[in-house]
Amino acid sequence: MCRHAAITGWGFCVPEKVLTNYDLEKMVDTSDEWIRTRTGIVERRIASSDQTTSSMGVIAAQRALDKAHLAAIDLDLILCATCTPDHLIPATACLIQHELGAVNAAALDINAACSGFVYALVTASQFIMSGTYDRVLIVAAETLSRFVNWQDRNTCILFGDGAGAVLLEATDQDGGLISSVLGAQGDVGRLLTIEGGGSAKPANPDTLANGEHCIRMKGNEVFKFAVRSMGLTAKQAIDKAGLKPEDIRKVIPHQANIRIIKATQEALGIPWEKVFVNVDRYGNTSAASVPIALCEFLETEEVSPGDNLLFVAFGGGLTWGAAVVRWIDVESHISERVEGPYAI
């Protein structure tokens, strides 16, 4: 019997507060037309003062558990993909574990910036396929608005807050993760940074005055890297799965910029209708963008067992990743959980 790692639950959470391009016109020297033309973003969500990366992650996680008809005590491991943790210590995954009451789960954070969800998906799948764990919760959550320089019009227009979560379970159905490609290029890491707050530049009056605790990005260079890496990585993952682009039911890319998404679609040679896009409503939510998009896709379209989904992302590091996931019969899996080989 082959052991696969399949998605059986999903959920997301975004703040209620909406920040539109017209709102940004009043804050920095920009315009709705300029932002739309260059990014495709119309609005983004901003966390309230009492919301954190972990609090949004908990809501998304509980929704994923509810969808999978599981309780938090059934979890073996929690992975939190984030580059905007609540604290340096403890890990945000541990905070989520506590709030959920997942007393049987190990917990750790993964930081691959915007590639974080794909990195976590591949990592979680290895734990399951190796037989180490049966149920792994992935939470990808970000509160980027706390790390944005609201006077920098080149970056403050791009980012939003939110969280997405998926539940991975062991199954003998033919599905789950069927291929993946991960990569990193540390020599260009300084193209996208938050330099302050770590051991190299601990917080002090100078780092605060210099804005070193905010996102800094060399936009043109990052754009070129993203256009190149997204298309290439997507093709590699499809090839590795033994598939062709036309075999992909839906591409769910990192929602950074509509022009990057369009370039990925053109590189794959697939119809635009096969690409899911919500960057216009949420902006770039970093690691959370792919699972939020996945959740909205599953809310709006029917997915059948055997459908192939492609996740692809790039991020700070610089990092990149892609994964092909074959959908299983989720309802059948849940109904068989009571008596099957992976029964609770």
Residue 336: per-residue pLDDT? 83
- The answer on 207 and 169 residing in a single domain is no
Low-confidence stretches of the chain (pLDDT beneath 50): none
Please, what's the largest Cα pairwise distance for the chain?
61
Residue 320 · residue 256 · CB < 8 Å: no
- The answer on 9 and 105 residing in a single domain is yes
Residue 337: per-residue pLDDT? 73
Distance CA 193, CA 187 (A): 13
Q: Which of 29, 123, 23, 144 is nearest to 78 (CA)?
A: 123
Span 121-145, pLDDT tens digits:
999 999 999 999 999 999 999 999 9
Q: Where in the sequence numbering do the catalytic residues fall?
A: 114, 254, 284
As to burial, measured by CB atoms within 10 angstroms (0-12 exposed, 13-18 middle, 19+ buried), residue 302 is exposed
Distance CA 195, CA 167 (A): 32
Distance CA 226, CA 219 (A): 10
If you compute the radius of gyration of the chain from its CA atoms, what whole number of angstroms results? 19
Tell me, yes or no, whether 54 lies in a domain: yes
Distance CA 106, CA 81 (A): 15
Residue 322 · residue 177 · CB < 8 Å: no
Count of other CB atoms within 10 angstroms of residue 242: 10
- The answer on 144 and 203 residing in a single domain is no
- The answer on 213 and 138 residing in a single domain is no
Tell me, yes or no, whether 342 lies in a domain: no
- The answer on 183 and 154 residing in a single domain is no
- The answer on 37 and 168 residing in a single domain is yes
Residue 65 · residue 72 · CB < 8 Å: yes
- The answer on 209 and 90 residing in a single domain is no
Distance CA 338, CA 335 (A): 7
Distance CA 278, CA 167 (A): 22
Residue 138 · residue 79 · CB < 8 Å: yes
Which domain, by its residues, includes 260? 178-326
Residue 342: per-residue pLDDT? 56
Tell me, yes or no, whether 341 lies in a domain: no
Phi (first) and psi of residue 246, to 5 degrees: -70, -15
* Domain CATH for 116: 3.40.47.10
- The answer on 199 and 159 residing in a single domain is no
- The answer on 60 and 48 residing in a single domain is yes
- The answer on 218 and 247 residing in a single domain is yes
- The answer on 257 and 168 residing in a single domain is no
- The answer on 191 and 170 residing in a single domain is no
- How many folded domains does the chain comprise? 2
Distance CA 146, CA 165 (A): 21
